[in-house]
Structure 1
């Protein structure tokens, strides 16, 4: 009560607004650093105990250090000309730091190896080992190489820069300026939806200001977390943006809906807001707390890029909660009821208070909508048929999971045809595809390096094509192995455990690393996370629901409905990816991310509905109470769902397959959850079960007016 008076007080509301803007603005001032702390190297996201990480740490102790090869491929149909060969020799000299127009590249060796020409004489390959310790320097080096090729290559010569350095650069370019595009599109979308929802040329400014303030503060906080050591990449930053935009807008919609309802009962805007906060704030806090708790289960993930989404998202949602319950109500009271013009809510004489301890007819609530009353009547007429039908629809959609293929490879991560992918295809036409990114085998000092080399050379043809280079150093011997397949392909990734088996048999302490091995370890960690994290998420959400609803039966039913809804969204997503978007496969991390977001955000709306249902049950009984809650909250929950689905769909503007998939699944799942689960399945299920849904609380034994016995 005291906090509500501070936020809505005659003078204190101005102080609250000023302090919130000052603090949030201070955080927002740090948001420009977010891109600076982002990382794009696959190795940064691997679990510390992965074999490829140990191999990488050992490789950095060799004279060549941690190498990220930039592989230049040139080809001409019909065969390279003498001019082409001269151009390749000149590029090698420039890349090595000599001759006119030296490129000043961060080389990992003193002298570049000579170019390799294909047997058919139609292509040449120049492998330029770059030091991988500075991702920005590698990207700049690849850009300089590509620019030089574009300017100096003879006419008709096909050129490309691929290899690990090429893929890293293309991935980095995907996110260059992506934050600005994503923010602009998401902000415009939220702005349009707010104007449509409120049908006011003025009022949208108040919640939109809060949303923008929250977004800036969350990005600033993310930048500070990145500086403190949290692993952040462009993917996580994009997810944070849409999550904060969606959550902040949703909380604003929920509070404004209750505030508008109370303005029909109270003449004074401050009194109306205090009543709105008493009614809506507990549900908003519980909803946000559930999302935060669900997201924090991700910190237990082995994949660092997945684990970092937990604290990033939790901080963003926490800021959305704080500002939605401080600066938003304060500015709403300052603006007053006239800000709703031209649809200014007027006091309705004799309107029943939402928290009155007296029976009321369902139509008494001025915030109720006729369409939702009509839906409630249909649910009351045949609840069991409706919830069984809704369950059947979700179960059918969930069958799509049987066709889910989580074998998305690194070269498939980028939509379109970036140069690294095109270059890899060009290389594969003339050379062993594995030449662009050899695996790294580290034989520790004292180990039998000769036996390991012999095992590699005798490996099956579908595992390795031979040894490319041998280097001695303090840790022992490093052997570069040319894989039999394209190192960024599913075949090469699948060959890693077989290569490790051969190497470990020859030298038990040896390590197999490199780009392909990192992809394999990343997939293994993601598969582990997909099995371990979802049950923990469900357990956390169940505990929160039990604490909020003070019941056991209702949380179990709601959790089952939400989990089925998430499975249905994922199943439908698999079908959309394959038959509509024509995507090659599902990213290994998608099932976990989609499940956590869908469960946490789906329960968000459930809490708002069921918190109001519990409130109404005291007055009307369970069955009429849940229908009254549906009538009052149906419109605002639907609006919030549309906004959240819209913000997540904005992820599709980034040409990264995993974000396209995540945005598609979450957007579809939120709409499915909003329009079917929260509007039909849950109300019908609660209506059918009746008072027992509140067991073991006292409400399970109380009967409202008209309650069946």
Structure 2
């Protein structure tokens, strides 16, 4: 820490200024890259992936299926003249291949033609198709199918990067103003967070361009909120310790060096915990899940480096005027003395009450169903593809826009076709080729291809075709394989995350019992967050269904972040307990870190809540679950449960090691209380301070 003097701080600030100038444009470049990149999401060994390779050996992106639906503006039946007009323009509705003949619905209220759109210029292609379809007089045109849904997804993500950043920063600024009541301090913390973000974006862009990382809109949104939240949390921790050290030392440079030496271990341990936990996703089956882990690890590294270099330098150059006392950054004698006394007087009662509250929330966790949410229900309700899918389902089989593709040996084609037609959930089977043909069968589903019912139909169909050599592909089959892979990832990643976090805590705390307790507390807190979020979703959206990937991401974040705050607390408790013993150390640690860690929890919850502005329901659900979990952890687990457990266990909590401060038993002295005959019990350490 010898560089922490005014010349060193100035040099550090200039280096970061140069880095900011060099990386300032990378956030925009990363957004453009993530919008243009459509990584493969289907596991390579699945049936749907095999069918895709058989039909497209070159791997060149194929046109996306599209359904164009015409309905009468007056709500009447489609007229013959309108059918003829649709027939004339049908050739303009496909980017490649033969034109589709428009089909009249059985109720006569709609006309539908199958087309395709070029994925390389999806927006322009759909605009051209819509313009051609609009030439049919007296009709309203709707677009549905994979091409329309993908276009809505891209358009929504393209408009939300700036909104997401503004909402996240707005929440952080509001909380920081309440904490510090100092515009200068808020500007320093926000500058540190933005610098972490631009550095992370630059690193991710370089990694993605080199092919080392896969970054899509979902990954970028999560990284944005995590970097803002984590950087702010680290800044809160450093500033609180700097203020504390500045009260003990007259020299500002010495105070900053002491603050950095004390803050660096928990900050680095926190970043390492989140990074290592997220890196377990690299073992996931789904490519999109594998890409998130390394991206978050890179982002957390940038957060830690910025918080321990740029912010100390900026604080030193600003001098004492930056340390205006805030509401939640000092010792917190008024606010945190009472919880500390409660924990010390009745520790067992406190942790039993906390476990009861958490168990109540955890009992609701089965309500969070992992059955899946169809994409057309996860997009905004007013999206064109959602409206188009609803119109399509009213007049035609809902799966007509994206049929299943069954590839079968030529000798088995007739038998395979018979089995397919006999499977429940199948609306129609193509019969445009001879029995001995090697052409694939096109199978229309009764239900939308992204629905749970379609997934069950695919499972039934594959079971019916077992032993025939036939393979089932297409959009519904791909989504079925993705869902199955996500369930398999759960069974692998979840226990691995717990093991990694436990190992890191054992190394950091140099004991065994306390890490086990911290991981167990994070697990119970996680289940309580799932249950509470499921209840909120049920009350406000009418459904608590979500995707397995949402549960997996939320699990990894909550275990890592939940242990994070306990690292901040327990590291300080250990520092104090080395000299005064565990019980007194818990009290002092809670007093010293109560305000800053609670403020950090509020900041992180607010930043994850900003995911609610994202266009996908899945991301909003992640924001809700993680936000609720962070609040539960920072306001209940860290303030009451963990301190009460440590106080109740005393010196045994560090088993199998023992701290020097616990070698001699603590004696208890009684000092006169404010009322006659009253008294307050204090340890010998507190008596000495008094």
Residue 25 of structure 1 contacts residue 213 of structure 1 at CA under 8 Å; is this kept in 2?
no
Question: 1:668 pairs with 628, 631, 640, which one?
Answer: 628
Question: CA 1:461 to 1:163, structure 2 compared with 1: closer, same or farther past 3 Å?
Answer: same
* C-alpha distance in 1 between matches for 2:485 and 2:60: 29
Question: CA 1:447 to 1:185, structure 2 compared with 1: closer, same or farther past 3 Å?
Answer: farther
Question: 2:113 pairs with 102, 114, 126, which one?
Answer: 126
1:82 Cα deviation from its structure 2 partner: 4.3
1:152 Cα deviation from its structure 2 partner: 3.9
Question: 1:173 pairs with 138, 144, 155, which one?
Answer: 155
Residue 622 of structure 1 contacts residue 704 of structure 1 at CA under 8 Å; is this kept in 2?
no
Moved more, 21-30 or 300-309: 21-30
* C-alpha distance in 2 between matches for 1:40 and 1:392: 49
1:24 Cα deviation from its structure 2 partner: 4.7
Residue 172 of structure 2 contacts residue 603 of structure 2 at CA under 8 Å; is this kept in 1?
yes
Moved more, 136-145 or 629-638: 136-145
Question: CA 1:18 to 1:329, structure 2 compared with 1: closer, same or farther past 3 Å?
Answer: same
Question: 2:280 pairs with 297, 300, 305, which one?
Answer: 297
Alignment of 1:524-673 (within 5 A): 524-583=484-543, 585-673=545-633
* C-alpha distance in 2 between matches for 1:318 and 1:498: 47
* C-alpha distance in 2 between matches for 1:220 and 1:640: 26
SS at 2:450's partner residue?
A: coil
* C-alpha distance in 1 between matches for 2:131 and 2:463: 42
- 1:429 corresponds to 2:394: yes
Question: 1:410 pairs with 348, 353, 375, which one?
Answer: 375
Partner of 2:10: 14
- 1:378 corresponds to 2:342: yes
Moved more, 13-22 or 564-573: 13-22
* C-alpha distance in 2 between matches for 1:668 and 1:544: 25
Question: CA 1:159 to 1:561, structure 2 compared with 1: closer, same or farther past 3 Å?
Answer: same
- 1:682 corresponds to 2:667: no
Residue 336 of structure 2 contacts residue 594 of structure 2 at CA under 8 Å; is this kept in 1?
yes
* C-alpha distance in 2 between matches for 1:417 and 1:244: 31
Deviations 1:455-489 (A, max 9, x none): 323x234245222766999x953221112322222
Moved more, 577-586 or 174-183: 577-586
* C-alpha distance in 2 between matches for 1:202 and 1:414: 40
1:684 Cα deviation from its structure 2 partner: 0.4
* C-alpha distance in 2 between matches for 1:411 and 1:428: 12
Partner of 1:348: none
Residue 398 of structure 2 contacts residue 447 of structure 2 at CA under 8 Å; is this kept in 1?
yes
* C-alpha distance in 2 between matches for 1:468 and 1:26: 60
SS at 1:158's partner residue?
A: strand
Deviations 1:359-410 (A, max 9, x none): xxxxxx9734322111100111111011011011111101112222212222
Q: Give ranges in structure 2 of 5+ residues lacking alignment.
A: 669-682, 685-690
Question: CA 1:238 to 1:64, structure 2 compared with 1: closer, same or farther past 3 Å?
Answer: closer
Partner of 2:294: 311
Question: 1:393 pairs with 357, 364, 369, which one?
Answer: 357
* C-alpha distance in 1 between matches for 2:413 and 2:81: 42
Residue 210 of structure 1 contacts residue 324 of structure 1 at CA under 8 Å; is this kept in 2?
yes
Alignment of 1:88-237 (within 5 A): 88-95=86-93, 107-109=95-97, 111-131=98-118, 135-146=119-130, 149=133, 152=135, 154-155=137-138, 157-229=139-211, 230-237=213-220
Partner of 1:75: 71
Deviations 1:87-121 (A, max 9, x none): 4234324336xxxxxxxxxx231x31211112232
1:147 Cα deviation from its structure 2 partner: 5.0
Partner of 1:49: 45
* C-alpha distance in 2 between matches for 1:578 and 1:322: 41
Residue 42 of structure 1 contacts residue 518 of structure 1 at CA under 8 Å; is this kept in 2?
no
1:25 Cα deviation from its structure 2 partner: 4.0
Residue 551 of structure 1 contacts residue 695 of structure 1 at CA under 8 Å; is this kept in 2?
yes
1:428 Cα deviation from its structure 2 partner: 1.9
Question: 2:2 pairs with 2, 5, 13, which one?
Answer: 5
Question: CA 1:344 to 1:672, structure 2 compared with 1: closer, same or farther past 3 Å?
Answer: closer
Question: 1:467 pairs with 417, 423, 430, which one?
Answer: 430
Residue 156 of structure 2 contacts residue 615 of structure 2 at CA under 8 Å; is this kept in 1?
yes
Give the alignment's TM-score, normalised by structure 1: 0.89
Between the two proteins, the alignment pairs up a number of residues equal to: 664
Question: CA 1:172 to 1:82, structure 2 compared with 1: closer, same or farther past 3 Å?
Answer: same
Alignment of 1:317-336 (within 5 A): 317-336=300-319
Question: 2:420 pairs with 437, 441, 456, which one?
Answer: 456
SS at 1:436's partner residue?
A: coil
Question: CA 1:431 to 1:469, structure 2 compared with 1: closer, same or farther past 3 Å?
Answer: farther
1:415 Cα deviation from its structure 2 partner: 3.3
Give the alignment's TM-score, normalised by structure 2: 0.91
* C-alpha distance in 2 between matches for 1:63 and 1:673: 47
Residue 264 of structure 1 contacts residue 366 of structure 1 at CA under 8 Å; is this kept in 2?
no
Question: CA 1:63 to 1:188, structure 2 compared with 1: closer, same or farther past 3 Å?
Answer: closer
SS at 1:589's partner residue?
A: helix
Question: CA 1:698 to 1:63, structure 2 compared with 1: closer, same or farther past 3 Å?
Answer: closer
Deviations 1:201-237 (A, max 9, x none): 2221112111111111112222222223333221111
1:617 Cα deviation from its structure 2 partner: 0.4
* C-alpha distance in 2 between matches for 1:309 and 1:179: 17
Question: CA 1:461 to 1:566, structure 2 compared with 1: closer, same or farther past 3 Å?
Answer: closer
1:12 Cα deviation from its structure 2 partner: 1.4
SS at 2:439's partner residue?
A: strand
* C-alpha distance in 2 between matches for 1:470 and 1:14: 76
SS at 2:183's partner residue?
A: coil
